Amino acid sequence: MSTEPEKLHISYNHVHKLCQEAAEGIRANGKPDVIVAIGGGGFIPARILRSFIKHKGEKNIPIQAIGLSLYESYGDDDVEQIGKEVIRTQWLDMGALAEHFDSLIGKNILIVDEVDDSRTTLHYALSELEKDVREVQEKLGRTSEKTTFSIFVLHNKNKPKRASLPEAMFAEGRYHAAKTVPDAWIAYPWDQMDIDAHTQKATEQGFI
């Protein structure tokens, strides 16, 4: 009998297909004008998703990155202590955004991360981005324009959450999880030291 927790092995091609499957639903609910990837986990799904949200002949959707850190590793890769707070390691450069994208005001903004675990990181990202945009709107006297936030994650863990998202986000179909899974350990391919062995396990589990 193993005491190892249930572990889901996810291949790159599976991640690719999850993004592909989710893209039309995301687009149907309002094509994103900009993707905000929560780094490091959101980078890979954001980049893949972009290929599928974009239709032939359209311009690429810009990806902006923010860095948020909730877990911090202490001395051993297998032992992680849950951080007391979310730490910003990178935030949007609103100056550059204003210049190139006419800011985020009135836009459809899609926030992307790999997993919705405790929901703490997503709650933080959404509420802080909403606050920043609202401040710029007030500053510029453009409060009548509606800025819409959506969320995409590869996996939502079916478990009690430590933080919440606005009810309207679910009611209006602005929360997109490619898969809802049990509260298991999700092994993403980008963390694997032996990708062939990992892909073999993913194949056996059907996550290919």
Count of other CB atoms within 10 angstroms of residue 54: 16
Interaction pattern, residues 179-208, with its own copies; x per rule: CB under 8 A? ----------xxxxx-xx--x---------
Task: Evaluate the omega torsion of the peptide bond into residue 40 and state whether it is cis, within 30 degrees of 0.
Answer: yes
53 versus 169: smaller Cβ distance to its own copies:
53
CA distance 207 to 9: 7
73 interacts with its own copies by CB under 8 A: yes
What is the rounded CA–CA span in Å between residue 90 and residue 81? 21
Q: How far is the CB of 178 from its own copies (least distance, A)?
A: 15
Q: From CA 37, how far away is CA 14, in angstroms rounded?
A: 19
Catalytic residue among 76, 116, 117, 191: 117
Kind and range of the H or E run holding 206: none
User: Measured between alpha carbons, how far is 157 from 40 in angstroms, rounded to an integer?
Assistant: 19
The verdict on 65 binding its own copies (CB under 8 A) reads yes
Q: Does 13 bind its own copies (CB under 8 A)?
A: yes
Applying CB under 8 A, which residues contact its own copies? 11-13, 16-17, 20, 37, 39-41, 43-44, 46-48, 50-52, 56-60, 62-65, 67, 69, 72-73, 75-77, 87-93, 96-97, 100-101, 189-193, 195-196, 199
